[in-house]
Amino acid sequence: MAEAFEGASVGEQLIEACRRNNVELLTEIIENCKSDDEVSRLLNNTTSVMGNHLYHEAALQGNYEIIDMLLDQHEFECDPINRAEGDTPLHSAIRWINSEPPAQREFGNALVEMMLEAGSSTRIKNKAKLTPYQLVDPRNTGLRELIQKHEYAALNAGDFVGANEIQQPKKTNNASAHLDVSTPADESDDDAEFSGSDDEERAEWERRRNAKKGR
Q: Which domains does the chain have, with CATH numbers?
A: 2-155 (1.25.40.20)
Calculate mean pLDDT across residues 88-96: 98
Say if CB 69 and CB 23 are below 8 A apart.
yes
Question: C-alpha angle with apex 143: 138 to 146, nearest 5 degrees?
Answer: 130
Quick: pLDDT tens for 191-211: 444 444 456 666 776 777 776
Share of the chain above pLDDT 90, in %: 66
Short-list 85, 4, 77, CA closest to 46:
77
Given this model, what pLDDT does residue 166 score? 41
Backbone angles phi, psi at 174, to 5 degrees: -80, 115
Calculate mean pLDDT across residues 65-91: 97
Residue 212 has pLDDT above 90, yes or no: no
Q: What is the 3-state secondary structure (H, E, C) of 83-143?
A: CCCCCCHHHHHHHHHHHCCHHHHHHHHHHHHHHHHHCCCCCCCCCCCCCHHHHCCCCCHHH
pTM of structure: 0.71
Where helices occur in 21-76 by DSSP H, the ranges are 23-31, 36-45, 54-60, 64-71
Q: How far apart (Å, rounded) are the C-alpha atoms in residues 57 and 172? A: 62
- Residue 107 CA neighbour count, 13 Å, CB half: 14
Residue 183 has pLDDT above 60, yes or no: no
Say if CB 55 and CB 89 are below 8 A apart.
yes
Quick: pLDDT tens for 107-139: 999 999 999 999 999 999 999 999 999 999 999
Say if CB 54 and CB 15 are below 8 A apart.
yes
Say if CB 81 and CB 114 are below 8 A apart.
no
Q: Please, what sign has the CA dihedral across residues 107, 89, 113, 21? A: positive
